[in-house]
Amino acid sequence: MPALLVLTLIALATSITAVGIATALLGVATLLRLLDPDLRARFTLPLAIPIAAYVAASLLATAFARDRTSAVLQSKDLLHLLLFVGAVNGFASTAQILRAFAWFFTAIGVASAYAILQSWACNWSTDPPAWVATVLRVKFDRCRNLTHEPFRVRGFFSIYMTFGGTLLVSLALLMGGLVLGVWRRAAALVLPTLLALVALGLTYSRNAWVGLVVAAGTLVVLTRRLLLIAPLAVVLLVAVAVPSPLRAKILSAFDPASPSVSERLYFWESGLHMLRDAPLLGLGPGGVKIYYPEYKNPAARRPGTSHLHNDALQIAVERGLLGLAAWLAIWVAFLYHAVRIYRALPRGRSDAAALVAGSIAAVVGFLAAGMFEYNFGDSEVIGLVWVVMAVPFAVGRDVDAPVVL
C-alpha cells in the first residue's frame, strides 16, 4: 500500500493515464484490505456523511437527467473518491506520509524543470533538432507564432490549466514544509519550490495564481508568520512593474473588455439561466456541455463549452442545489476537522504540523482558484486534492490528535 500511494502521487504529477491506473489499483487494494479482519477493524472514513450526501445527490441528478446515458458516463468522476478512501487508510504514519510526499515533490521538481525547458526551447532563435521537439512535446511552429498570448507551458500534461492547478496544490504543501518543517527537510524543498514557482508563472494561469496567494494567506493565518507573505509580495511587485507577457496577463484580469474576462461573465450568466430551469437536481452530470448552446449569450465568442469556469456554479447546474449543498458541506467539514487536528497537534511535531497546515492551505487555495475555473472537474487536480485531504486525518490518527469520522 505505501508503495502504491507513492506511485499514485508520482502519477498525479505526470500522467492522466497513470492516474487512472493508479486509482483503480488503489481501489482494489483498499477492498482487499477489508478482507483482513484486523485491517477492517482499523478502517476509517472521515467526512462520510457529506461525501455520501454528495454521491447520493449526484446519482439522483443522473437518474433524472434528460440525457441519462451521458450523465452516467460523466458520473465516473465519483471514482476519484477512491483516492481519498485509499489514502486515509493507506497512510500508516506521519513518517510514511513524509516519504511519499518527498517522492512527489521530486516529481514536481522534474515536471517544473521540464516545463521551463519547454518555454526556453520555444524562444530559441534557431530551429532546434527534431528530437528536441519530440522530447519536449512542443510544436515549435505553433509556439513561436502565437500572436495574442505567450506560449503556456503544460509540463507532462496535455493542457496548461491542469499543470497550473497541480502546481498550486503542490506549492501550498511545499510552503507548509518550508515554514513549519524540520530545517533539514525544509532545505530539500527549496529547489522544487523555486522551480514550481517559475513553472506556475509560465502557465499564465491566473486562477492558479489567485489560489496560490490565498493559500499563502491561509498559512499566515495558521502559523502567524507574516514573513511568508514577503517573498510572494516581492514576486508580484516585480511581475507587475516589469513589462512582460506575465505583466500583461496579470493586468488583463482587471480589464472587463478582455476576451477571457467577458467570456467568463457570459458563461456565468448562461449557467444561472440553466440553474433557474433545473434548480433542485440540475441538468445531470455533463449537462453543461450538452445544453450550453441553448443558453448561450449571443455575444459570447465560443459556440460551446463543457464547463462554466466556476466550481460552485458548475456543481449547481449539473447536480442541482441539493448537490451544491452536499458539495459545500464536504469542504466545510474538512476545514473544521483539519483545523481542529492542526490545533491539537503536540508541540515538537513540526513535520506533522507542516503536513496538516500545507493540506489546509492547498484545499483553500484550490477552492479559491475554483472561483474562476472548473478545477473540480480536472481529474489530475482533484485526484491530488483528495489525496492531500486525507493527510490531516492520517496524521491525527498517528499522533493522537482528535479525528472525527
* Residue-by-residue DSSP string for 263-280: HHHHHHHHHHHHHHHSTT
pLDDT at 405: 46
In 34-67, which ranges are continuous DSSP H helix?
Answer: 37-41, 48-63
Distance CA 91, CA 109 (A): 23
Which of 204, 215, 137, 150 has the alpha carbon at shortest distance from 179? Answer: 215
pLDDT at 54: 97
Q: Where are the domains of the chain?
A: 2-398
The percentage of residues in the chain with a pLDDT greater than 90, rounded to a whole number, is 55
* Residue-by-residue DSSP string for 350-396: HHHHHHHHHHHHHHHHHHHHTTSS-GGG-HHHHHHHHHHHHHHHHHH
Q: What is the pTM of this model?
A: 0.91
Provide CB contacts within 8 A for 114, sequence distance 6+. Answer: 136, 155, 156
Which residue, chain included where needed, has cell 483503480?
A: 24
Residue 128 region by backbone torsions, left for phi larger than 0, else alpha for psi between -120 and 50, else beta? beta
**pLDDT at residue 402 tops 60:** no
Q: Is the dihedral of CA 1, 113, 225, 211 positive or negative?
A: negative
Average pLDDT of span 292-298? 92
pLDDT top residue among 191 and 140: 191
Residue 381 region by backbone torsions, left for phi larger than 0, else alpha for psi between -120 and 50, else beta? alpha
Give the number of other Cβ atoms within 10 Å of residue 159's Cβ: 15
Q: What are the tens digits of pLDDT across the range 332-379?
A: 999 999 999 999 998 878 889 999 999 999 999 999 999 999 999 998
pLDDT at 225: 76
The percentage of residues in the chain with a pLDDT greater than 70, rounded to a whole number, is 88
**pLDDT at residue 23 tops 90:** no
At residue 239 the predicted structure's pLDDT band, cuts being 50, 70 and 90, is: low
Please check whether residue 167 is in contact with residue 203, taking contact to mean a CB–CB distance below 8 angstroms. yes
Q: What are the tens digits of pLDDT across the range 99-138?
A: 999 999 999 999 999 999 998 888 777 777 777 878 888 8
Provide CB contacts within 8 A for 267, sequence distance 6+. Answer: 300, 305, 308, 309, 310
Q: What are the tens digits of pLDDT across the range 248-281?
A: 666 666 666 677 788 888 999 999 999 999 999 9
40 by DSSP, 3-state: which? helix
Cell of 59: 446519482
* Residue-by-residue DSSP string for 241-301: HS-SHHHHHHHHTT-TTSHHHHHHHHHHHHHHHHHHHSTTT-S-TTHHHHHHHHH--TT-S
